[in-house]
Amino acid sequence: MSGMLFATASAFSTSYLMFEVLRFFTGFCITGIVIVSSVLSVEWVDIKHRKLVGVIDSLSWTFGNTLFAAIAYFVNDWRWLILSVTSPLILAIITWRWMPESARWLIANGKLKEAQMYLNKCAKMNRTEDSIQILNTETLATIVVTEKRDRTYSYLDLIRTPNIRKLALRTGVVWFCVATAFYGISFNLTGFGLNIYLTQFAYASIELPAKVTVYYLLDKIGRRRTVVGALLMTAACLGINIVIPKDMSVVRTVVSVLGKGCSAASFGTIVLYSSELYPTVIRQNGMGYNSFMARLGVAVAPLILLLDEVWKELPQVVLFSMAILGGIVARALPETRNRSLPETIEDIESSGIEKSLEKSVEIK
């Protein structure tokens, strides 16, 4: 609701400063919605369907970006454009009331009766009423064992223990690099001398086959290899564009579009991948931190493009380096394919990240 109010108010801005402030708070609210919805989606499904909900969640961005190009083409007034792209939030506000709280999070935090209520609803919806009788609070209490059920977790828990600290450092760097490369390519709409609406549509459309490919690769080669491969392919496209002559604008655009597809594949994968790496009790905090690192990358991307005043190819070189760095760091992350979600910090710290992913119990 707040995001829609800020976005709508920004359409009636009377100064650039007012517009900046309102758009800042709009982005602040929208980011929260994205993080919460992606975490809820992952925590409510079993191992088999995690990649499906992850890819569907990522595809919603693709369809939105594609539609945005068409809306911007027909709606030229900036005030009406903002109102047009804000209107879908009405549907989000209406449907949000039916979103259940995460049963995993409730169990991990000792709210067993509330978790039992949501799990019973889930069992009825899936027509598995036979399992309701075993979903008692005593059984749920044995699923997740924590040292203190009543403790409150915060962002400080991302740095208090060594294994979580290493995980946060690695995923933070990868998110920063992925976002920098992704938005560095996305913001360069006018850099190839072609129609910006057509270029935006092509940039958005290429994400569809890229993410469909990711859907098959996630289980075939795993999350880690998928995100590393996507980042290296992004780097390859950026590197090729460095040597292609400026007057070959069509060829440069085609290569850039392919790079955008690869960067979109890396973005879609890292969101799912990171949500599987963090334990339930701090998964929301971990994803919030990662999103913050990504927003830093978004903020840096346009500044990188300004480096063309120093050397025309410098922005491409920097983005190329970011993609390579992201791929190198991503190789240090553990694989999560066909593994249960970790539930507590103790799971990660007692046996290390790799073993905790193997031992954690899946809620079905």
Query: What local confidence, expressed as pLDDT, does residue 360 receive?
Result: 46
Query: What local confidence, expressed as pLDDT, does residue 203 receive?
Result: 81
Give this prediction's pTM: 0.87
Mean predicted confidence (pLDDT) in 210-234 = 95
Angle at 210 between CA 208 and CA 211, to 5 degrees: 70
Closest among 49, 115, 57, 98 to 280, alpha carbons compared = 115
Number of CB atoms found within 10 A of residue 275's CB: 25
Per the document, the length of the chain is 364
Scored b (16 or more CB within 10 A) or e, 319-355 reads bbbbbbbbbebbeebbbbbebbbbbbbbbbbebebee
Give pLDDT tens digits for 141-174.
666 655 555 677 889 999 999 999 999 999 999 9
Categorise residue 338: left if φ over 0, alpha if ψ from -120 to 50, beta otherwise: left
CA–CA separation, 125 and 363 (whole Å): 16
Asked if 241 contacts 255 with a C-beta cutoff of 8 angstroms, the reply is: yes
CA–CA separation, 59 and 265 (whole Å): 10
Give pLDDT tens digits for 225-261.
999 999 999 999 999 989 988 788 888 888 988 999 9
Give pLDDT tens digits for 31-88.
888 888 888 888 888 888 899 999 998 998 899 989 998 999 999 899 999 999 999 8
Pick the CATH number of 2-99+151-353 from 1.20.1250.20, 2.40.50.430, 2.60.120.560, 1.10.3720.10: 1.20.1250.20
Query: What local confidence, expressed as pLDDT, does residue 209 receive?
Result: 93
Task: Return the structure tokens found at 40.
Answer: 């809820």
The model's confidence at residue 357, banded by pLDDT at 50, 70 and 90, is: low
